[in-house]
Amino acid sequence: MTHTESDTLPVTYADIERARERLDDDTVVKKTPVERSSSLGGFVDAEVYLKMEHLQWTGSFKTRGAYNKISQDVADDVESFVAASAGNHAQGVALAATKCGAESTIFMPENAPQAKIDATRAYGGSVELVGNDFQETMSHAKAVVEETDAEFVHAYDDLDIIAGQGTLGTEMYHDCPDVDTVIVPIGGGGLISGVSTAIKHLSPETRVIGVQATGAETVHESLDKGIPVVLDEVDTIADGIATGGISETTLDIIEANVDEVVTVSDTDIAQAILLLMERAKQVVEGAGAASVAAILSDSLDVSGETVMPLLCGGNLDMTQMREVLIHALTERQQLLQLRVRIDDQPGVMEEISGVIARQGANIHDVRHERSVENLEIGEAYLVFNVETSGAEHAQSIITAIRDAGYPVDNVAREAKSGAL
């Protein structure tokens, strides 16, 4: 991917500057902070500055594009708007429409996080749950618009939306003019299209890196084929970038402005969410944490650089947070599920519990399993859920149980790949 002069592309830096003028109201969009993270910097041997857009009104960048579009349409006498969204765009459209005195109806997938549904309604939007994934929801929303006078607000395939998102790129540059690399999550590509247009205008030598979740990856194949590729289904915890496809417009801009696109797994994303909680004291959703997952992965080398991962959203559903944390802690071996094969005799559970206790670990719960095919008559499994301080502590517990004469496996690690 090579940089093309921005005036040959559908969105220019002049469009972004006009959007900045429309967004000059901190009750709609506020300037979000940047914080240096010495912890992350130590992990990747770089100067890491976190762009904390998850602290934006509505918890994501989406209001930038939505307000840039809706404010112009309302000036042209449009009174109602329709959008399709997995959650963050929904909130942006609802807030922007309400601020402009217009009505909004938001169609969301049936599996959308409840926190995003509730927040969208709180910002004044009417929410209807339709479809099993984003593409199905999008099709329904477009069909509704054809039968009404409402204006459709696309989440990413709209020049005014892209220009509004581009204001974030201008802000990122002025936050850190010497930045070597910015890392931007990609769903439909509207965010990275806007950000890259601004960055490449202001600092052509700065690398722009896109990141997608492995279970929703479309950019590489789209670039190879020269047309947007749409997935039949997506599978990722990062619902904010689980669009399943980009558009022709965003593909053209990505090809021109984005230097590289990397992918990260759900395990990578879960680890990044946990790390941001522990080290940066920030609650960030999967899409927002993808940029940090990228710099921590083997796919991207930022050593010796000044880098800025974009934390683009913070709307993490509490139920999902629990699942993500369990997954991440299991990967770290701070949560174990130990299956111990025993002769099913009185006192054995007490003995093994004592072995675990003497290692300084906490047993969360324990259960018997007797109806398992590979067990002999009179045998059973004891399954212990154990909390540890980490991998070294976990291994000492397993070793102690084996030294006591009991076969043991950490079945949580064996099963974790299918847990999310």
Burial of 27 (C-beta count, 10 Å sphere; 0-12/13-18/19+) = exposed
Retrieve residue 284's tokens. 């960030």
Q: Which of 110, 135, 153 is the last residue of a domain?
A: 153
Does 236 map to a domain?
Answer: yes
Q: Which of 153, 176, 197 is the last residue of a domain?
A: 153
From residue 257, alpha-carbon distances to 171, 194, 260, 279, 325 in Å are: 18, 10, 9, 32, 35
Domain that holds residue 247: 6-60+162-328
Each residue's pLDDT, cut to its tens digit, for the chain (420 residues) gives: 555 455 689 999 999 999 999 999 999 999 999 999 999 999 999 999 999 999 999 999 999 999 999 999 999 999 999 999 878 999 999 999 999 999 999 999 898 878 889 999 999 999 999 998 877 898 999 999 999 999 999 999 999 999 999 999 999 999 999 999 999 999 999 999 999 999 999 999 999 999 999 999 999 999 999 999 999 889 999 988 998 999 999 999 999 999 999 999 999 999 999 999 999 999 999 999 999 999 999 999 999 999 999 999 999 888 888 888 888 899 999 999 999 999 999 999 999 999 999 999 999 999 999 888 889 989 999 999 999 999 999 999 999 999 999 999 999 766 554 444
Q: Identify the pLDDT of residue 1.
A: 56
Residue-wise pLDDT for 158-169, tens only, equals 999 999 999 999
Q: What angle do CA 319, 325, 328 make, to 5 degrees?
A: 145
Same-domain status, 184 and 294: yes
Does 23 map to a domain?
Answer: yes
Same-domain status, 228 and 365: no
Q: Identify the pLDDT of residue 320.
A: 82
Q: Identify the pLDDT of residue 373.
A: 82
Does 322 map to a domain?
Answer: yes
Same-domain status, 223 and 239: yes
Same-domain status, 225 and 357: no
Same-domain status, 117 and 178: no
pTM (2 d.p.): 0.88
Give the CATH number for residue 385: 3.30.70.260
Does 199 map to a domain?
Answer: yes
Report which of 271, 307, 320 is spatially closest to residue 116, judged by C-alpha positions: 320
Give the CATH number for residue 166: 3.40.50.1100
Same-domain status, 167 and 301: yes
Q: Identify the pLDDT of residue 417.
A: 45
Does 276 map to a domain?
Answer: yes
Same-domain status, 30 and 130: no
Same-domain status, 266 and 395: no
Same-domain status, 176 and 221: yes
Does 366 map to a domain?
Answer: yes
Q: Identify the pLDDT of residue 86.
A: 72
Same-domain status, 53 and 88: no
Q: Which of 295, 328, 361 is the last residue of a domain?
A: 328
Report which of 127, 64, 60, 128 is spatially closest to residue 99, judged by C-alpha positions: 64
Does 1 map to a domain?
Answer: no
Q: Which residues contact 369 (CB under 8 A, 6 or more apart)?
A: 339, 380, 381, 382, 383
Same-domain status, 97 and 36: no
Q: Identify the pLDDT of residue 317.
A: 81
Same-domain status, 148 and 213: no
The string of DSSP codes covering 324-387 is: HHHHHHHHTTSEEEEEEEEE--TTHHHHHHHHHHHTT-EEEEEEEE---TTPPTTEEEEEEEEE
Does 305 map to a domain?
Answer: yes
- Count the domains in the chain: 3
Q: Identify the pLDDT of residue 327.
A: 87
Residue-wise pLDDT for 370-379, tens only, equals 888 889 989 9
Taking residue 168's Cβ as centre, other Cβ atoms within 10 Å add up to 26
Q: Identify the pLDDT of residue 114.
A: 83
